[in-house]
Structure 1
Amino acid sequence: MPHYFGNRIRLREYRESDMEAMRKWVNDPEVTESLHDLFLSPHSYTTTESFKNEVMKPRDNIRSFVIAEKESEAYIGQIDLHIDWKNRIGTIGIVIGRKELFGQGYGEEAIRVLQAVAFDQLQLNRVQLEVLEPNERAYRCYIKCGFVEEGRQRQRVFRNGRYLDMIGLGLLREQYEQDERQQPYRKLAYWGTKQLE
């Protein structure tokens, strides 16, 4: 699998050695509080291992990457793209697993690299994602990456004793192509190992 590079990160394949880093966050509520409901109950080693083994299998409609440090290739988090080939739509899921790196732009960089893959290499027309209402850090990141809020499902999720809205955001190819901040990352839109200059 090729690696895709940003300024500080690379998107690379999952490895057996990633298990230790993954186990550090899967049961940490500071990391998982805004993620899918499957993180509401404790994750056993076997559960994490099963997930890792699943994402390591080749699948036509999903591209799964580890977000890693550019030079050391050390694990930072995960990002994937679920693809609807008929309608040319990609849905992003992302987590930064290392709390000490929160708020430092690693998520933005990973998303921008994946946008280049989605639009320029895979020729998708739309990329979308969802975020829970109280996750302001993630929401700001997505807006900065060019996503537009398209609507919200009111009180869709019950979490910590209250109902929360789920916000849907989307980015169209035409918007992506006009975003000057995205242009440096477009050099990455090939199945190769080009690096950002």
Structure 2
Amino acid sequence: MAWIIGDRIILRDYRKEDLPHMRKWVNDNEITQYLSNIFLYPHTLNQTESFLNDILEGKNSYKGFVIAHKDTEEYIGQIDLIKLDWVNRVATMGIVIGAREHLSKGYGKEAIKMLQDFVFNTLNLNKLDLEVIATNERAIRCYKKCGFIEEGRLREVRYINGKYTDKMIMGILKSEYVATT
């Protein structure tokens, strides 16, 4: 996919050189605790490399971007459309900021806003949604700032840090996005 250029970041293609950056976060519990259960066990170099190769070879069903510094193109994280429903014009997104030093600096918000523009104005989709663990307060604040609203909740479906917690479903419609731009 073509690059999308923002104020401080770009959304660009995945590259082989991203592997060391991905390796830094895939086994970092602070980064992965709110992600998929596939991160419950350590990831080997081969697993991460296989994941990246699948993306590079187009074997994954989802489409996405690396979030990178605008000036250096260095990897910050990933933002992907993990489900695309072309019939109903709905996409589900996933995002990870892959290094602790990049957390809470607004990179996620900027990347989401750029993805929303792409989803609604280039792909002409009607809805963008996501799932988030209800205790992930930092992410929920970010999503709300980007116009997402809570649409539903799956009660006590994740076990994190010794407690069962809910998973929230959040979404934004194209009409809601247009009204704020």
- TM-score, normalised with respect to structure 1: 0.88
Segments of 5+ residues of structure 1 without an aligned counterpart are 181-197
Offset at 1:60? Answer: 9.1
Offset at 1:160? Answer: 2.7
User: Quick one: structure 1 residues 60 and 177, their matched pair in 2 at CA, closer, same or farther if it must change by over 3 Å?
Assistant: farther
Distance in 2 between the 1:159 and 1:136 partners? Answer: 14
Distance in 2 between the 1:117 and 1:59 partners? Answer: 22
> Is the CA contact (8 Å cut-off) linking 1:91 and 1:127 kept in structure 2?
yes
Which position in structure 1 is the counterpart of 2:20? 20
> Is the CA contact (8 Å cut-off) linking 1:9 and 1:70 kept in structure 2?
yes
Segments of 5+ residues of structure 2 without an aligned counterpart are none
What is the aligned length? 180
Distance in 2 between the 1:62 and 1:5 partners? Answer: 21
Distance in 2 between the 1:159 and 1:71 partners? Answer: 37
Distance in 1 between the 2:21 and 2:61 partners? Answer: 26
Do residues 74 (structure 1) and 74 (structure 2) align?
yes
Which position in structure 1 is the counterpart of 2:155? 154
Distance in 2 between the 1:167 and 1:83 partners? Answer: 19
> Is the CA contact (8 Å cut-off) linking 2:54 and 2:60 kept in structure 1?
no
Correspondences of 1:122-161 after superposition (within 5 Å): 122-161=123-162
Offset at 1:77? Answer: 0.2
Q: Deviations over 1:48-88 (max 9, x none)?
A: 00110111233695221100001100000001012111110
Offset at 1:9? Answer: 0.4
Which position in structure 2 is the counterpart of 1:120? 121
User: Quick one: structure 1 residues 57 and 7, their matched pair in 2 at CA, closer, same or farther if it must change by over 3 Å?
Assistant: same
Percent identical among aligned pairs is 50
Correspondences of 1:33-52 after superposition (within 5 Å): 33-52=33-52
> In the alignment, residue 4 of structure 1 is paired with which amino acid?
I
Q: Deviations over 1:5-53 (max 9, x none)?
A: 1110000011001001100110000110111000010000000001101
Which position in structure 1 is the counterpart of 2:89? 88
> Is the CA contact (8 Å cut-off) linking 1:108 and 1:142 kept in structure 2?
yes
Q: Deviations over 1:92-125 (max 9, x none)?
A: 0000001111111000000010111101000100
Kindly indicate whether structure 1 or structure 2 has the higher relative contact order, using CA contacts under 8 Å at least 6 residues apart.
1
> Is the CA contact (8 Å cut-off) linking 2:66 and 2:78 kept in structure 1?
yes
> In the alignment, residue 13 of structure 1 is paired with which amino acid?
D
- Cα RMSD of the aligned pairs, angstroms, is 1.2
- TM-score, normalised with respect to structure 2: 0.96
